[in-house]
Structures are given as structure tokens and as C-alpha cells.
Chain A
Amino acid sequence: MQNSHFFVTGDPMIYGADVSIALVSVAIIFYLTYFKKWGWLWREWITTVDHKKIGIMYLISALLMLFRGGVDAILMRIQLAVPNSHFLASEHYNEIFTTHGTIMILFMAMPFMFALFNIVVPLQIGARDVAYPFLNSVSFWLFFLGAMLFNISFVVGGSPNAGWLSYPPLSENDFSPGPGQNFWIWGIQISGIGSLMTGINFVVTILKMRTPTMRLRDMPLFSWSVLSSSIAILGVFPILTVTLVMLTIDRLLGGHFFTMTAGGNPMMWVNLIWMWGHPEVYIVVLPAFGVYSEVVATFSRKRIFGYSSMVFSMIAISVVSYYTWVHHFFTMGAGANVNIVFAICTMIIAIPTGVKVFNWLFTMYRGRIRITQPMLWVMAFVPCFLVGGATGVMLAAAPADYQYHNSYFLIAHFHQVLIGGVVFGYIAGMYYWFPKIFGFKLNERLGKWGFWLWQIGFYVCFMPQYALGFMGMTRRIYTYNDSMGWDMGWAPLNYISTIGAFLMGIGFIFQVWQILYSIKHGERDVTGDIWDGRTLEWSIPSPAPAYNFAILPVVKGRDAWWYQKEEMQKGNVHKEAVKYEPIHMPNNTGIPFIMSVFWFIAGFGFTFEWMWMGIAGLIGVALTLFARSFQYNTDHYIPVEEIEKTEKARKNYGSVHRTAN
């Protein structure tokens, strides 16, 4: 690797980015040094094993990545707005759609989802932390450094440009030499291992760490959605890991798994990557379904309609989602029988999803609906996801798919389910649980601006793309000529679509403004139960104390907190003298961060094919694991006096300790 190729050069936008990255880094370092915050950063955040803080870090990373992915999207839309555009070169356009897709799914949706997992699940099931707090921290740092490794490709070495799933033979050495493709492999590999660990962690947390009186069939639906999503993670992320290793062997060691020659089979990659890739979209949408279920019940002041059918349909979705992957490559020509089976499985998935939609609507039916910010997003989700699902069933019809395949119809479809289903759900979840994490509500007025800009922007952006698909515009073209643009009518629709993208971008800016504004002016949550909630997380103060529950709550059925409040109103609950016991908690540790830094070093080394650096990084990983196995001082007890002091300071909260056993 020559030095002159190490830094990406030549494009004024990249120099601009270089300068702003340098300025922001200097500003952060100056701030931390000047206010002597380095120790604070290390003690309170980097070494933390507290699920709430890890959740906050996931949330911040996800919002940053949403920004980066969104900028990519806007750049693409500017390029496509008019025919014969020279705003981006074709190579640059390829890089941008690759990073846009990869970042939005793996570095935006996944961490946003893990933020909600971490923030909500332990509080909702009455646990004091996740089952494996150390592993949780490892997961976060692997994700974060994997994401950073992927993102530095922008300024060092060059971005990947073979598409978000990097099909070979294009992604092989012959056609994509250089570090860009390796950045993609190692960024995803490292963060993917972190995701797998999170999946394991939450399966065990939900099965083993529930407060003893909570039966699985009384568990809130969000936790059920996390369980089904995590089981899907367990099933498919290993496939991703292995597939990436195979591509690494091809690229780094001259293997022939997916090459055109020497017995390689590129279609095997497509087969394997979609075995992961298809369940992956269900992995990200299931927790969004969980959010909708919680929000709709709370703001309709009703129990969720059809609880058992909700649970059953989520489990059905996570099982059937394993048997649909071929619908991403019907056109490969695997034969009619294969296509039929997978087309039918794909259509079957629509049934449990439809059941869920009806259940949400029936929950709202005759409910006392409060139109709050989370509820707005839920109500916007239903029609949006309905259309997305319907176009999905159209695409699932294998013979018709030969027409839609890789057209803008497909682009519009998957943006509609991923934005309308996943992003709306996560945003609803963020608004809903924000007061629980930070102790204040997000401003309504700015939020509504953001909401309407997003909604209008969404339809303005993506409805024209359905039409463009039918008009023959295929995905990943970087420009189109005048006759396509004006005679065939591509240009006006593309132009409208670009306007929509900008509206969504402005909506996002309003949301950022909303968060910053609310830090100072947001309505403070003094009760811990700002939405009049139904589940256990609303029974404790906001923000929750480090140990979450001073005394493990007693659960007598679904919507435990709601019925406890009813009992309290009737005066059936007697104040008993509370007897605290010391609480067993994990110690902070720097090992997850240090280990992930070594992973980063290894990934960076292999990316540039500097074997010495890659191997040194892996040795570092092994050494940190070794060091961890000799770490005996891993936990501590919070003494009773400290719990009493903390609880006394929050005496005015409606509180679980009234039902202490």
C-alpha cells in the first residue's frame, strides 16, 4: 500500500469531510481535557456494564449513523434529481449506495434496536441487569468499533462499492481490489459478532432473569418481541460470520469459494448471505412490533387486544422468516419447485403480520386514545406498513418478480417496510421511553414538526419510486439520459422524490433540535410514570437507580403495574415496613473496550492486508480474554444504607416498595 493511496484524495466533498472530522475531533479532545472529563468518560461510560448506560450509548451511535446514512441518501437523491447529472461520479455513487445500505441496516437499525433492548427489557421484566453484563459491554464496543472501522473507509483507503450485500464475483479481488471491500467485511464481521452476543444475552435474560413471580405468559409484549428477535439472531448471525470468513479466505488467502474460476460458486454467496439477510429484516422489525404493542395499549388505556395471538404470531414470524430467503433471488433460476416453496412461505408471513395489525386496530377500537408523540408514529405506521406489506406480497409472486426484480418498485417496497415499519417503530419507542431513561419528555411542538415533515416527506419520496419501477428504472443506476428523463417521464418523478428526501432530512433536523431543546426545557418526569403506563418499567423512578428495583416486584398478571395502581386506588394495598437487602451488582471493567480496540486493530490490519498488524491485533484479543479469566474481583454488593438513601431521595414516587413482599 503506497502512502499516496492511503488517504482518499481528489474529491472536494471528501476534503470537506476530512476538515470537519479533524475539527470535531479536536473540539471533543479539547472539551474533555479542558473540563477534565477524561476520567469521567472512562469511569462512567467506557467501562460501564450498566444496561441503561449501554443502551444510551447505543442510542447515540444509532442517531449519529442515521445522520451519516441520511446524508448518503440525500446525496444520491441530488444526483438522481435531474437527467445527465454530474454531481457525483459513477464510482462515487456506487460507494454511496453501498455505505447507505450497510450503515442503515447494520449500524443504524441494529444499534437502535439494541438501545431499546437494553433500556427497556430489564426494567420491564423486573431484573436488575441483563444476564451477562460483561458480555453486554463487549457487544456494544464490538459494534461501535466495527462501525467506526467501516466509517473511516470514507477518508482512509476508500469506501466499499460493491453494494450493501457485496455479491461476488464483483466483491472478489479481481473486480474490487484494495481495502474498500475489506473495510466492509471487517466492519460487519466485528460488529456482527457483537450482535450475536447480544442475541444470546437477551434470550438468557428473558428466560432466566424475570422477577420470580412473572410467568412467561404474563410478560409484556415488547419483551416477547425481543425474545423472538433474539432467537432469530441466534439462528442467522453465525451464517453471516461464516459467510464473511469464506469471502475473507477468498480475498486474503486466495481461496475459491465464490470466485468465477477454480470451482468457485458466486451464487452460493447469494444463497448464504440471504439466509442471514432475510431473517435480519425480521430481526429488526419484530422489536418495532413490540413497541407498537406497548404504545398502543398505553395510549388507548386498554389491555392489548389478543395477547396470545400476538405472541403466537411473533413466534410464527421468527420461524417462518427462516424459510423465505430465496425470494431475494427468484431470478437466479433455481427452478420452479424452489421458487414455489419460497413464494408460498413469503406469502404465509403476511398472515401473522396481518393478525398483528388487526390486533393493534382492535386495541384502539373504543379505547380512550391520547394522541401523544409515540402514538402519532404508531398511527402513521399502520397505513404505511399496510401498503409496504401489500407490495411485498406482489413481489413474493415469483413469476411477477421477474418484472419487479431490482427495479425501483423493489426500492420503494423495502423502504416502505423498513422506514414505515422499523424506523417509525424505533422512533415511537424512543419518544415513549425517553422520559424513563433521561427523566424528561421530548418537546411536543418540535416533535410534531418533525413528525409531519417525515410523513409528508416519506410519501413524496417513495410513492413516485413505485411508478418509476414500473417505468423501467432499475436500482443502482447513477444517472439517466435526456430521453429517459423527459420523453419517458423519469425526470419529474425523480425530482419529486428528491424533494421528499429533503423533507425527511429537515424532519430529522427538527428531531435533533427537539432533543437539544428538551434537554433544557423538556417537561421533567417527577412521578416515574409520565404516560400513565401499564408495565413494570413505569413503577420505578425516572431515570432508574443503578439497581433498578430496590425490591423485586411482585407480578400477579399481565399489565402488572396497571393493576397494581388500581389496587392502590382502591386502598387495597397496605404500606408495609420495607426491608431492603444488599443488592448484588457487577463491577465496571475496561476489558471489553480494550478487547474491542484490539479487534479494531486486527480488522484494520487485515483490511490493508498488513498481516503483522492483523495478527498482532488478534493476539491482543486473546491476551485480553486471558486477562479476564484471571479477574476475580468482578462484582460487589450495594449496602442497605445506600439503597435506603437513594430510595428516600425519591420518596414521592409511586412506588413498588409498597408491595414489597
Chain B
Amino acid sequence: MSNHEHTANMKAYTTGFALSIILTIIPIILVLNHLLSKTALVVSILLAAVLQFVVQLFFFMHIRDGEGPRYNVMALILGIIFVVTIVAGAIWIMSFNSQVQ
């Protein structure tokens, strides 16, 4: 690895780290200070989580580099399918809860 790439990486890691921290602190402040109504709060936490996911993919997971980017894309699609299944499935299945309680 050349020295130039090394510094570029370092910069990417630092930026990613800073962004992740900011995206973590925002929901904490929102929750601790009761700044939003419940629905707005949940939506903003989810938004921060999704953004952080994207940040981590681009700054830490090397989604852009590698010789065979096809595997990266395939793995990413697979991962998204998993996540959507888990989240959407759980929300749908557990929605019965509102009828019971």
C-alpha cells in the first residue's frame, strides 16, 4: 500500500468515525431532553440509524474498492434482503400486539 493511499484511508476512517459519533449523539440528545413527540422521535432515531449504516458502508466497509466489486454488490443486496426481512417481518408480525394490549 502506497503512502498516499494510506493517508487517504486514514482520512476516510476519521471522517467516518466523526460522522458515526455525530449520528449517535443526535438521537441520545433527542431522547434525553425529550425534544420531540413520540412518532417524530422514533422516525428521527431510525433515520439516524439508516444514515449511520450508509456511513459505515462507505467509510469502513470498503464498498467502493476491491478488484471484483460484483461480490461487494451481491453481498450488499443479500444483506439488505436480510435486514428488510427482519425489520419489516418483525413489525408486521408484532403489530398484533396493539390489538391484544
Contacts and interface: CB of A to CB of B under 8 A. Distances in A.
Interface string B16-53: 00000000000000000000000000000000000000
B94 A271 contact: yes
A322 interface: yes
A267 interface: yes
A338 B96 contact: yes
A332 B89 CA distance: 15
A268 interface: yes
B8 interface: no
Nearest to B100: A333
A267 B85 contact: no
Given A207-B71, A235-B82, A275 B97 contact: no
Contacts of A231: 78
Interface string A618-646: 00000000000000000000000000000
B38 to A, nearest CB: 12
Contact of A338 (B82, B85, B93, B100): B93
Contacts of A326: 93
B96 A335 contact: yes
Interface in B82-101: 82, 85-86, 89-90, 92-94, 96-97, 99-100
A95 to B, nearest CB: 31
Given A235-B82, A239-B86, A275-B86, A265 B94 contact: yes
A558 B89 CA distance: 40
Given A332-B96, A334-B96, A322 B90 contact: no
A192 to B, nearest CB: 16
Interface centre among B85, B94, B100 (most CB of A within 10 A): B94
Interface in A327-351: 332-335, 338
A227 to B, nearest CB: 13
Contacts of B100: 333
Nearest to B74: A207
B94 A275 contact: no
A503 B94 CA distance: 44
How big is chain B's contact interface, by range?
10 to 19
Given A207-B71, A235-B82, A333 B96 contact: yes
A272 B90 contact: yes
Contacts of A267: 94, 97
A322 B93 contact: no
A466 to B, nearest CB: 29
A272 B89 CA distance: 10
A449 interface: no
Contacts of B82: 235, 322
Interface residues of A, number: 20
B85 A268 contact: no
Contacts of A335: 96, 99
Interface in B63-89: 71, 78, 82, 85-86, 89
Contacts of A323: 85, 89
Nearest to A326: B93
B52 to A, nearest CB: 16
Contacts of B96: 332-335, 338
Interface string A234-270: 1100010000000000000000000000000101100
Contacts of A333: 96, 100
B82 to A, nearest CB: 5
Contacts of A275: 86, 89-90
Contacts of B86: 239, 275
Contacts of B99: 335
A316 to B, nearest CB: 14
A236 B88 CA distance: 15
B73 to A, nearest CB: 14
B94 A268 contact: yes
Task: Rank and list the top 6 A-B pairs by shortest CB-CB distance, nearest first.
Answer: A334-B96, A235-B82, A334-B93, A335-B96, A338-B93, A271-B90
11 contacts: A207-B71, A235-B78, A235-B82, A265-B97, A268-B90, A271-B90, A322-B82, A333-B96, A335-B99, A338-B93, A338-B96
Given A275-B86, A333-B96, A334-B94, 11 more contacts: A234-B78, A239-B86, A265-B94, A268-B90, A268-B94, A275-B89, A322-B82, A325-B89, A335-B96, A338-B92, A338-B93
